[in-house]
Chain A
Amino acid sequence: MINFYNVTLKHKNSRGIHNVSFDIEKGQFVYLMGPTGAGKSTIINSIIKSVVPDSGQILVNNYDVSKLSENDLTIFRRDIGMVFQDFKLINDRSIFENVALPLQILGIPKKTIIIKVEEILNKVGLKHKINSMPNELSGGEQQKICVARALIKNPKIVVADEPTGNLDPSSSDDIIDLLEKESKNGTTIIMATHNYPLIENRIKHFIELNNGKVVS
């Protein structure tokens, strides 16, 4: 589902990834682990083509990511759900509008959107917050909304970049529970984290990074 072949990407501050190779199967839940600056976010950003590697090949969902045209990139990203450490919610829109956004981009009819948004908010336990604004929610709730927004379009892949970075342990557990549930339904999930204690009891597949190289 996700294949990295000798991928190298150097940032201006000389950080980045060097000769990284790995394969992730469909439906796997893979943790990207490592300290700050290890290259976790670079890998996540390479998968969604927010950055382009200097060399190597990245195959995601049968797309050669480096060769995606602008038009193909939009189609490619529609199959990927994204969860970010800073939530990336739109503060002047309600929870309903935030969660509905990916479906509105796809041109789904409003009636279906309403049903789906209610369904997914129910799943993350925040249906009662449907008309609230993001700043009325706690950090953990905002991240759950972010997960709901990532999952609403039934993506094939979910990439999560430090989704528990700003959360307390209980909220972090809730978020990982949500993602694990989704993984059991066949969604491939790749989650970057530096919080090993949080995941040590859950871990099945992981890629450990240090100084931009795969350690194990």
Chain B
Amino acid sequence: MIEQLKFILIESLQSFKRFRLYSFISSLTIMICLIIISFIIYLSDVTNNLSKNFKKNESVLKIFLKNNIDDDKSLEVCQNIKEDYEFELMTFENRNELFSKIDKNLKTWLKDDLEFIPCLCSFNIDITTVDEIDNLSNQIYQNYKDVIDKIVYPRSYLVKFEQILSLVYSVIFLIGVIIFVVSIYNISNIIKLSIESRKNVIEILKLHGANKIFIKAPYIFEGVIHGLIGFILSSLFILFSFNIFSSFIYDHFLAQSLITSISFQTYILINLIFGVILGFIGSNLGTSNYLE
């Protein structure tokens, strides 16, 4: 058994010497697939970061207090809400401040009746879904219904944003799946071509009583090794891209939102896992189709 395993390993390693072109093409294909997969992961991460930042800026809960509560009491209520719900950022606007924002014509009409205007506290919230914002606003209203007139936030705007975001994610996921499947198909085809050029070896092995596992195993190991080589090449490319991108980001402030929150090590680990999986499934499929 150990001798057979040794033979299988040596066979798969020696195939690099014997079939340099196929090994090179196969490793290169895996490398390209891994780079594309990494780019998709990067894209999804950047989209996620952009959407978080966007929501953070846009998800503002505006609480209009009842207009019979004076400015000081209103500020106190707002601070209580901030503490109760651990909001990080709060903006309080008293009647005068709100009045200053009102349209010129309307101002003339309202100036004698400032008491009509309520105080407003605005909280920037760090919540991802519209449902959660709904729940939060209901909770606040229930707890402070004596002092709150109404709570507003850009619900329809956020719902649309969520819909667009989910579409973007679906497209990215679909592209990822397509690339993964196409990669496996490509790799299995390359392995098939490689087997085609070695079919006399397979025939001789069969005639001498080699079983299916013994015939298949070197090809599968070979596929995994191609995966590992593809992983090393793609990692070098990613490392290079990281360096280039970092220097570019320091020079261009606007590009900072394109920084990935996933570490280089994580990209390497993902590449390693996908490289091995692509090599394994691709070669397994290639040999299964051919040897059956």
Contacts and interface: CB of A to CB of B under 8 A. Distances in A.
Do the two shown chains form a genuine complex with each other? yes
Interface string B1-36: 111101100000000001000000000000000000
Contact of A105 (B2, B18, B201, B205): B205
A107 B4 contact: yes
Contacts of A48: 207
Contacts of A70: 212
A114 interface: no
Given A101-B204, A108-B3, A92 B18 contact: yes
A77 B208 contact: yes
A105 B209 contact: yes
A70 B205 CA distance: 14
A80 to B, nearest CB: 8
A101 B211 contact: no
A102 interface: yes
B70 to A, nearest CB: 91
A199 B3 CA distance: 41
Contacts of B212: 70
The prevalent SS among residues of B at the interface is helix
A51 interface: no
Interface string A98-133: 000110111111100000000000000000000000
Interface string B200-219: 11011111111110100000
A78 B209 CA distance: 5
B221 to A, nearest CB: 15
B127 to A, nearest CB: 61
A88 B201 CA distance: 9
Contacts of A82: 207-208
A74 interface: yes
A107 B208 contact: no
B211 A88 contact: no
A46 B147 CA distance: 97
Contacts of B6: 110
B211 A104 contact: no
A158 B72 CA distance: 107
A102 B208 CA distance: 6
A102 B3 CA distance: 13
Contacts of A50: 207
A50 B203 CA distance: 10
A104 B3 contact: yes
A70 B211 CA distance: 8
Given A88-B200, A90-B200, A77 B207 contact: yes
A206 interface: no
A90 B203 CA distance: 10
B200 A104 contact: no
Contacts of A77: 206-209
A88 B203 contact: yes
Interface of A: 48, 50, 70-71, 74-78, 82, 88, 90, 92, 101-102, 104-110
